[in-house]
Chain A
Amino acid sequence: AQSVTQLGSHVSVSEGALVLLRCNYSSSVPPYLFWYVQYPNQGLQLLLKYTTGATLVKGINGFEAEFKKSETSFHLTKPSAHMSDAAEYFCAVSGSGGGADGLTFGKGTHLIIQP
């Protein structure tokens, strides 16, 4: 079985500062890894994903994440936070079906941007 741990249910950064959201996973098979963003009362939007190949993945809105197999981590970063980045962020991992049988999500991290 797979699981996802997101460290910190709330993260607060100043506008213009580095954003770092942490995600660690466990999986018995080579994982596919995902970051999604959710704005209040809306669905989830895919930010980026790692399937195979390059371990540094670039996504939308200036976000990127690095797959580190040795650390079982997939942390999300953005060099400079913007007020519009305030939202809930979810890390997710696929199962043995490569995601066809659904994803396992972390509990989410609420990102707060201080002006």
Chain B
Amino acid sequence: DGGITQSPKYLFRKEGQNVTLSCEQNLNHDAMYWYRQDPGQGLRLIYYSQIVNDFQKGDIAEGYSVSREKKESFPLTVTSAQKNPTAFYLCASGPGQGPFFGQGTRLTVV
């Protein structure tokens, strides 16, 4: 089935460690997005990519990095510079007229 796969679903890391969240899609979409969700805050855009080997910062890119080496994949690295990394991270792909979302990764930093 076509869709967006995020892994892992739950992730625990110690403070100060970098961690990479996986996002893979088989929908043949050019555009991919990463959002962060905090309780009561809605979704905020971290990074997006409209084509392979190109990506742009969103509203809250500080402390995060991404790569887009393949059309299907858009991994997100949460670095030690991110001051408050505990959150629910959502990957999306597809047309601006209604992107499709993955099931999310809940990251907890202890």
Contacts and interface: CB of A to CB of B under 8 A. Distances in A.
B96 A43 contact: no
Contact of B104 (A43, A103, A104, A106): A43
Interface string B1-37: 0001010000000000000000000000001010100
Contacts of A94: 96-97
Contacts of B45: 102-104
User: Is the interface on chain B under 10, 10 to 19, 20 to 34, or 35 or more residues?
Assistant: 20 to 34
Interface in B45-68: 45, 48, 50, 56, 58
Given A46-B98, A94-B96, A107-B42, A102 B103 contact: no
A41 B8 CA distance: 13
Nearest to A47: B98
Contacts of A4: 42
Nearest to A52: B97
Contacts of A80: none
A42 B106 CA distance: 10
B84 to A, nearest CB: 17
27 contacts: A4-B42, A9-B40, A32-B96, A34-B98, A36-B101, A42-B103, A43-B104, A44-B90, A44-B92, A44-B101, A46-B100, A49-B97, A49-B98, A51-B97, A90-B42, A90-B43, A98-B97, A99-B99, A100-B96, A101-B48, A101-B96, A102-B33, A102-B48, A105-B42, A105-B44, A106-B42, A108-B40
Interface of B: 4, 6, 31, 33, 35, 40-45, 48, 50, 56, 58, 88, 90, 92, 95-104, 106
Given A9-B40, A41-B104, A99-B96, 18 more contacts: A4-B42, A42-B103, A44-B90, A44-B92, A92-B43, A98-B97, A99-B95, A100-B50, A100-B96, A101-B48, A101-B50, A101-B56, A102-B45, A102-B48, A104-B45, A105-B44, A107-B40, A108-B42
